Amino acid sequence: MWMKRWQLFISLLAALCLFTLLPAYGEEVLRGNVINIVDGDTLDVQVGPGKHRIRLAEIDSPERNQPWGDEAKQGLASKVLKQEVRIVVIDIDRYGRRVGTIFLDQTDINRLMVSEGHAWVYRQYLQDKRLIEIETMAREAGVGLWSQSDAVPPWDWRKGKRSNRRLGRTDGE
């Protein structure tokens, strides 16, 4: 009888070890100090002797030249600039940036940016379905960019900017 229990215990222990180790092989985790905020969804992190540009996963903040762009950048800076963070990297984008979720201690900064109205959920790349609920609550509360009646999603803003450049126009024309 004790032999069966012992085998069961060993099997459970082996399964636990396997499940604990699996994520370490499937994702990159970086720890470093935030040294620069590019905009509301991109930052630079010093990791040892190297610097990495990080794009916050699943969210899209207003562009720097877009309404609420400066506020989004400041919102991110006030949370993580000169702080040690942990980044769970899920991808590398076409610009070579690591794309991931930023954690300050146990706080998910990506979610926090959405909850404070500094970012839209980037549905095209969405994995964390809870972000939709968080965005809805921020929108209903009218916080951050949701206080503006004419908030334009960054992906639409970028399309408009590309169209204006092709036409030879700039802001204000």
Catalytic residue among 5, 31, 53, 55: 55
Write down the pLDDT at residue 108. Answer: 98
Q: Is 24 helix (H, G, I), strand (E, B) or coil?
A: helix
Q: Record the pTM.
A: 0.79
Give dist(CA 150, CA 28) in Å, integer. Answer: 38
From the candidates 58, 71, 97, 98, which is the catalytic residue? 97
pLDDT(113) > 50: yes
The answer to whether 113 and 128 have CB atoms below 8 angstroms apart is: no
Q: Using DSSP bridges, classify how beta strands 59-60 and 98-104 pair: parallel, antiparallel or unpaired.
A: unpaired
Choose between 143 and 21: higher pLDDT. 143
For residue 55, indicate whether it is catalytic.
yes
**Nearest alpha-carbon partner for 6 in 14, 103, 119:** 14
Q: Residue 130 catalytic? A: no
Report yes or no: 87 and 45 within 8 Å, Cβ to Cβ.
yes
Is residue 97 part of the annotated active site? The answer reads yes
Q: What is the pLDDT of residues 43-76, one digit of tens each?
A: 999 999 999 999 999 999 999 999 999 999 999 9
pLDDT of residue 170: 42
**How far apart, in whole angstroms, are the C-alpha atoms of residue 21 and residue 136?**
35
For residue 2, pLDDT over 90 is answered with no
**Domains delineated in the chain:** 26-161 (2.40.50.90)
Q: Which two tokens stand for residue 157?
A: 């803003």
Residue 102: pLDDT band with limits 50, 70, 90: very high
The distance of Cα 110 from the centroid of its chain, to the nearest Å, equals 4
Which segment, 9-18, 71-80, 151-160, is predicted with the most confidence on average? 71-80
Say whether pLDDT at 80 is over 90: yes
> Per the residue annotation, which of 63, 71, 116, 135 is the catalytic one?
63
